[in-house]
Structure 1
């Protein structure tokens, strides 16, 4: 049962990703690349020429700093280690990109649900300044 649930989690084209991409297009910023392999960390959305990387993080898997989520009650040690590894990986990806001269944005699933277009406001303002 657990394996089936875990396999059902999408890694690409999630609802939050689709929402962010739509907001970026509506704000006049199409032309991004998805899961661009040539960028360190393979960001969800990348503007290679502008060296802008965007990660859209699910609150549960990436251990959202805003949601104050609790660790699942069963197998809590496993989950705690899993979340710690995920957070470390995210930090490593961000550092690799920044060291390579990229501007990195993290957009959290809860911010997309609560704030709508405000979730991408910083990204849009940054991209507007590059024009």
Structure 2
């Protein structure tokens, strides 16, 4: 996969992903998970202001569980990530190495968390993951 936008445009696009907490700035994944949680009357908060920047907090009767909604490309999904053929060093640093550091930081987080991959949202499996997490 070759990046088709300039570095400046890519930077602008990426800065908008989590720059704001307003609903209009949420990604499609965040909206889909939020709408499903709301429809199921599952108490949650989007974009909670806690260490590690999780995307969702499931309130879970005072025992919160945090969700990271990770895109398959930007978080180097083991099933779907493929490094673009152009600018290999750039992508290795900005996706793969950044993801390794992120994983190390997440392992140190002082709370329970679950990763939900983009493909789990696309195929609807996120619903089962969340239900199992809450009932688990």
Provide TM-score, normalisation by structure 1.
0.78
Helix, strand or coil at the partner of 1:126: helix
- 1:43-98 per-position Cα deviation (integer Å, ceiling 9, x unaligned): 1111353220101011111111121x32112210121122223322331342122x
- Structure 1 unaligned blocks of 5 or more: none
Divergent runs of 4+, >3 A = none
Distance 1:6 1:64 in 2: 21
> Paired residue for 2:103, among 84, 88, 91?
91
Distance 2:99 2:134 in 1: 26
Distance 1:47 1:33 in 2: 7
> Paired residue for 1:8, among 5, 10, 13?
13
> Paired residue for 1:21, among 34, 43, 58?
34
- Structure 2 unaligned blocks of 5 or more: 1-5, 19-25
Alpha-carbon shift at residue 14 of structure 1 (Å): 0.1
- 1:108-129 per-position Cα deviation (integer Å, ceiling 9, x unaligned): 112211x22x223122232245
Aligned residue for 1:45?
56
- Residue 119 in 1 paired to residue 126 in 2? yes
- The structure with the largest helix share of the pair is 1
Which structure's relative contact order is higher, taking Cα pairs within 8 Å and 6+ residues apart?
Answer: 1
CA contact (8 A) 1:107 1:120 kept: no
CA contact (8 A) 2:34 2:46 kept: no
CA contact (8 A) 1:36 1:42 kept: yes
